[in-house]
Amino acid sequence: MPTALSTDLYELTMAAGYFEAGTGRSATFELSVRGLPRGRGYLLAAGIEPALAYLEALRFTAPEVDYLRRLPQLGRVPVRFFDDYLPGFRFTGDVWAVAEGEPVFAHEPLLRVTAPVIEAQLVETALLSTVLFQTSVASRASRMVRAASGRPVYEFGARRAHGAEAGALAGRAAFIGGCSGTSDVEAGLLYGLPLAGTMAHSWVMSHDSETEAFARFLEMYGDRTVLLIDTYDSQRAVDRIAAARLAPFGVRIDSGDLLVESRRVRARLDASGLDGTKIFASGDLDERRIAGLVERRAPIDVFGVGTALSTSSDAPALGGVYKLVAMERAGLARPVFKLSPGKETYPGVKQVWRVAEAGRATHDVLGREDESPPRHGRALLGRVMREGRRVRPAPAMRKIRERALEAVEELPAEVLRLDEPARYRVEVSEGLVCLTAELKRRMDAVAG
Amino acid sequence: MPTALSTDLYELTMAAGYFEAGTGRSATFELSVRGLPRGRGYLLAAGIEPALAYLEALRFTAPEVDYLRRLPQLGRVPVRFFDDYLPGFRFTGDVWAVAEGEPVFAHEPLLRVTAPVIEAQLVETALLSTVLFQTSVASRASRMVRAASGRPVYEFGARRAHGAEAGALAGRAAFIGGCSGTSDVEAGLLYGLPLAGTMAHSWVMSHDSETEAFARFLEMYGDRTVLLIDTYDSQRAVDRIAAARLAPFGVRIDSGDLLVESRRVRARLDASGLDGTKIFASGDLDERRIAGLVERRAPIDVFGVGTALSTSSDAPALGGVYKLVAMERAGLARPVFKLSPGKETYPGVKQVWRVAEAGRATHDVLGREDESPPRHGRALLGRVMREGRRVRPAPAMRKIRERALEAVEELPAEVLRLDEPARYRVEVSEGLVCLTAELKRRMDAVAG
């Protein structure tokens, strides 16, 4: 969970600036992704509930305030900011968001914050790092789960994650994307996720024989036991299992050509009367490898995916932004935007509608919040926080996952395609096009 | 900081297994990286001190034990494990490690743990996620700092990091790699790092005019102020600064062609008598772009790097492993290894020596710890922990950074090259070659 200091220094220098100027004006920021990573047809929004938990809990502790007070960069900031403002800081804003697990596309707001500008600004860094990473992982998990065509996929990537917290967050996001569980125990505790695990090569190596290592584990774990069989030679390992009359729930292969190995192991298991024993496969898997194995009918029952999930290795960072879209002036929320080359955004407070026909989404409409919805359009952004409090408790993780699985299947098949997915159509409403053009004209006039 | 549950489930199932078997045998594990990421000639070890802090602090809290006790996966584990073992768990092992900031190469142990097998095994996941991520970031930072040729590089990537913790860890690792500081305030607090920051586009957009936004910030921050000038048009922004007779410390450009923009801005600043004002550049920078800008003499004084550093985007995961290399049998540490296809490791407890001539490293030797060192060889692995306690306090971050800068410059120039770096020579000692061959023979004999 981010702390109050999980932020860029400039959020604090700006906060002090707003405080000094007495700017209580309300601002609206929207968090969106500029473009989809190459090869991905859709994203699944994730990290929303953790972001809300952060906003609700956000406080500056006394040691944090003391640290800030002594920073030379804040040396000219009046002491009232440290004495009065920061210790009493609460997030008091309103938040709209898409449901976790909702498919989203470029330029669509995943989260919208309306709050006094000082608060809305201060939370930028933490909201981005919370939402973007989990969104990237959930989206990739969704691709893998679809590639696995009904076979369970487990997230096993904690060791390669960007620190322990990232490991737990990856487990959470992968579950939203449809994974069946994670090996990360902290994720199990924090988010109530199903846990899975087998054994490591070191367990086998630390015993005097492979048979002894297997037998010990089976004594402990009975009919849940999955034995790792490739420490020395997977064929021989199966023979040893059979010779010792062991009957594990499953065996895991973690190296070599998984297609060839799984076939050989399946044949050997079956020949040994172990036709009920399942095959788990892991080792540098991603959606393409999973799809290839499934297509060639590799007799793999369960997939374990590590690095590709926990670091979202194809897209370790989403081009996400948190942009000021409206600012109160004279009591009214006025749309604003910037013109930095290549970084233009749509101004104003927005809504996204998903238009479906016969249960299949045809396109989205990105429009002004105050426009009337398109026919058959479902609004994706709903209010989730009012004056700094959540308007409803966080849904259970299983519910989020179920909803996500359904919402993904609603997308057009060509958008869901693993390779070269079609671009999902996101229309910009007439109202938003006009507003953008009008603001550009006005700014050019000012500039001219 | 990882908790006791920041681990894969199988570490706990194996722990329970060792506990039940009464296996107090000592084991040695080594943490190394299998191969260098494409295009990187060297790695800088990082995350070592945080890893030691984790080992020292490692405890199972009562709620953690209760959670584990209720896990169906551990349902057959005898209650003594939860009642007696876990609550009293301490890491009591010995640790050897390379110094943080030391350049390291494929197959060289960064960290070696000797402890009762149950302890040495249990910490695997957290050690890997702590060391690998920071090593990847520190290494990339080193490349960027070298590309910048003396111009300061700051780490600005918290918002794209894999959660808040990863953001702070990235700031730490980037500093080890030679960055001058970070924008991540939490990293400043936790690790005593220098902080840097400017202002966001939203500060400019939230004021009635750019001039007002600039003037307000200068009033607050005086001669430390860096103004962001590309919200609308950077040339006009400079004119406004000049017209209002403002004299910022620096201006920042965050978009467009940074070479062209920096030249134009420099010329305009100079023409306005602002020749003392520095130019900060940011926006999708990495080592290649920095090198290109430096080569073409872009008048940029300071670089700010985000995503490329905080997610180590070219290598978001290192192929790191934590392998059992020796196991006590009959009171002696016996070397072990596995034969999984493509995943062979060198057996036995190892040391790495860096051989230098006239202050320039020529090659490393990876050997058995009990071998005599090569001539002019400096041992890289030193003891850092004895019976679960650090043998010395963690060095100051500035010391680690200085040492790293020196150690990198000791490497051959062709290894340091940004593009297609030469492969640094790591020799495997005769003793280690023989040991490996002998063990393979023995295992083949057993298998045959």
pLDDT in tens, B227-243: 999 999 999 999 999 99
A198-202, B167-171, B383-387, range with the lowest pLDDT: A198-202
At A343, the pLDDT band (50, 70, 90 cuts) reads low
Q: In the prediction, which pLDDT does B217 show?
A: 96
| Chain A residues with CB-CB distance to B164 below 8 A | 1-3, 6, 126, 129-130, 165
Contact: B163, A185; criterion CB under 8 Å: no
Among chain A residues, the shortest Cα distance to B230 is held by A340
Of the two residues B342 and A303, the one the predictor is more confident about is A303
Architecture label for domain A198-282: Alpha-Beta Barrel (3.20)
Q: In the prediction, which pLDDT does A146 show?
A: 98
CB contact set of A137 (below 8 Å; sequence gap of 6+): A46, A169, A170, A173, A174, A177, A309, A310, A312
Among chain A residues, the shortest Cα distance to B213 is held by A17
Report the mean per-residue pLDDT for chain A: 95
Contact: B200, A128; criterion CB under 8 Å: no
At A341, the pLDDT band (50, 70, 90 cuts) reads low
| Chain B residues with CB-CB distance to A174 below 8 A | none
Contact: B186, A5; criterion CB under 8 Å: yes
Q: In the prediction, which pLDDT does A446 show?
A: 59
CA distance B164 to chain A (A): 5
Sheet with A26-33, edge to edge strand ranges: A332-335, A320-329, A26-33, A111-116, A94-97, A382-386, A389-390
Domain boundaries, chain A: 9-137+315-447, 198-282
Question: What average pLDDT does this structure show over B125-150?
Answer: 98
Cβ-nearest to A317 among B208, B224, B313: B313
Q: In the prediction, which pLDDT does A448 show?
A: 42
Q: In the prediction, which pLDDT does B342 show?
A: 66
Per-residue pLDDT at A79 exceeds 70: yes
Q: Percentage of chain A surpassing pLDDT 90?
A: 90
Cβ-nearest to A130 among B72, B163, B317: B163
Cβ-nearest to A125 among B12, B158, B324: B158
CA distance A307 to chain B (A): 7
CB A240 within 8 A of CB A211: yes
Convert A80-92 into a string of H (helix), E (strand) and C (coil).
HHHHHHHHHCCCC
Q: In the prediction, which pLDDT does A445 show?
A: 67
CA distance A304 to A153: 6
CATH superfamily ID and name for B138-310: Aldolase class I (3.20.20.70)
Residues, chain A, total? Answer: 448
Residue A78: DSSP 8-state: -
- Return the sign of the alpha-carbon dihedral for residues B162, B165, B168, B174: negative
Per-residue pLDDT at B321 exceeds 80: yes
Q: Is the ipTM of this complex over 0.85?
A: yes
| Chain A residues with CB-CB distance to B310 below 8 A | 317
Per-residue pLDDT at A356 exceeds 90: yes
Does the pTM surpass 0.95? The reply is yes
Of the two residues B62 and A22, the one the predictor is more confident about is B62
Per-residue pLDDT at B7 exceeds 90: yes
Q: In the prediction, which pLDDT does B115 show?
A: 97
At A440, the pLDDT band (50, 70, 90 cuts) reads confident
At B448, the pLDDT band (50, 70, 90 cuts) reads very low
pLDDT in tens, A23-65: 789 999 999 999 999 999 999 999 999 999 999 999 999 999 9
CA distance B163 to B174: 16
Cβ-nearest to B9 among A196, A230, A327: A196
Q: Which two tokens stand for residue A336?
A: 């604003």
Cβ-nearest to A232 among B10, B130, B447: B447
Among chain B residues, the shortest Cα distance to A74 is held by B221
| CATH among 3.20.140.10, 3.40.50.410, 3.40.630.30, 1.20.150.20 for A9-137+315-447 | 3.20.140.10
| Chain B residues with CB-CB distance to A304 below 8 A | none
CA distance B327 to chain A (A): 6
Q: Which two tokens stand for residue A99?
A: 């449901």
| CATH among 3.40.50.300, 3.40.630.10, 3.40.50.10700, 3.20.140.10 for B9-136+315-447 | 3.20.140.10
Nearest to B325 by CA among B108, B59, B133: B108
